[in-house]
Amino acid sequence: MQKEKILVVDDDKNICDLLRMYLEKEGYTVVLAHNGMDAVNTFHIENPHLVLLDIMLPQLDGWQVCREIRKTSEAPIIMLTAKDEIFDKVLGLELGADDYVTKPFNTKEVIARIKAVLRRTTAVKNEDVKEVHYDRLSISLTNYELKVNGEIIDTPPKELELIYFLASNPDRAFTRDQLLDAVWGFAYYGDSRTVDVHIKRLRDKIEGISNEWELKTVRSVGYKFATYGKR
């Protein structure tokens, strides 16, 4: 069976060549881009299964590239950053990235994260129709659509997966670590801010539209999708 195609984007050709060597050894097909404009063009031509995307790029930076990809595709994106700063990580996740890896990175860790993200993507595609419906709210993990009052609301994949998970388990409280494990698929090294950022952005989209449910903070625990009426 043919392995998935990975687009590696970094202006450091040595890093690109290193990643290509290890990824091809794992059986992946690898294509490269060394600046933001080439990354966007190569993405649309090659249609890769996953993108490894550096933030500091010439022409267009990684955030701009992520925005352009998310306009037309839900392909997984793992950000590569030389800055171990929460701001960079949170911004990438807000723009729709699925994960981040800080340079200098361990190649085995990068490959492990690629495999984890691709497993989740494949699992979602292979599952039956997955939808939940509440008053004025519809969440489809099959079509990756969030509808409020019948209108589709632009929602990054991880936000949609998070609200779907909570809404599929109504009235059950989850810790941030449990949500990280369930939605992101691995430990985020205690970075619970990831969940908080996604919850805040979801509330901006859906808060107050119905009195039959709410995305509720459970003090000293985490979050839950609380229901007060009939589904």
Q: Which of 111, 126, 141 is the last residue of a domain?
A: 126
Instruction: Pull the structure tokens for residue 84.
Output: 């171990």
Question: Is residue 138 domain-shared with residue 105, that is, in the same domain?
Answer: no
Question: Is residue 110 domain-shared with residue 10, that is, in the same domain?
Answer: yes
pLDDT at 113 over 50: yes
CATH for 62: 3.40.50.2300
DSSP annotation string for 48-83: -SEEEEESS-SSS-HHHHHHHHHTT----EEEEES-
Strands lying side by side in the sheet with 222-227:
174-175, 222-227, 213-218
CATH for 201: 1.10.10.10
How high is the mean pLDDT of the chain? 85
pLDDT at 230 over 60: no
Omega cis (within 30) before 104: yes
Closest alpha carbon to 107 in 224, 14, 200, 214: 14
pLDDT at 12: 92
pLDDT at 1: 42
pLDDT, greater one: 124 or 113: 113
Q: What is the pLDDT of residues 175-213, one digit of tens each?
A: 998 898 888 875 555 567 889 999 999 999 999 999 999
Q: Is the dihedral of CA 120, 136, 194, 179 positive or negative?
A: negative
Burial of 62 (0-12, 13-18, 19+ CB in 10 A): buried
pLDDT at 65: 93
pLDDT at 140 over 50: yes
Question: Is residue 113 domain-shared with residue 151, that is, in the same domain?
Answer: no
Phi-psi region of 144 (alpha: psi -120 to 50; beta: other; left: phi over 0): left
Q: Distance between CA 152 and CA 171 in Å, rounded? A: 25
Range of the domain at 144: 131-227
Region 2-8: mean pLDDT is: 84
Q: Enumerate residues 6+ apart whose C-beta is below 8 A from 4.
A: 28, 29, 48, 49, 50, 118
pTM of the shown model: 0.57
β-bridge pairing 151-153 and 145-148: antiparallel
pLDDT at 127 over 60: no
Question: Is residue 106 domain-shared with residue 211, that is, in the same domain?
Answer: no
Question: Is residue 145 domain-shared with residue 202, that is, in the same domain?
Answer: yes
How many Cα neighbours within 13 Å face the side chain of 178?
A: 11
Phi first, then psi, for residue 60 (nearest 5°) are -125, 135
Question: Is residue 172 domain-shared with residue 222, that is, in the same domain?
Answer: yes
Phi-psi region of 136 (alpha: psi -120 to 50; beta: other; left: phi over 0): left
Instruction: Pull the structure tokens for residue 93.
Output: 């996740």
Q: Which of 126, 149, 167 is the last residue of a domain?
A: 126
Q: Which of 101, 126, 151 is the last residue of a domain?
A: 126
Band of the pLDDT at 31, cuts 50, 70, 90?
Answer: very high
Percent pLDDT > 90 in the chain is 51
Question: Is residue 115 domain-shared with residue 161, that is, in the same domain?
Answer: no
pLDDT at 74: 82
pLDDT at 130: 80
Q: What is the pLDDT of residues 158-178, one digit of tens each?
A: 899 999 999 999 999 999 988
Count of domains for the chain: 2
Q: What is the pLDDT of residues 213-225, one digit of tens each?
A: 999 999 989 999 9
* Residue spans of alpha helices (H) in the chain: 13-25, 36-46, 62-70, 86-94, 107-126, 157-168, 176-179, 193-206
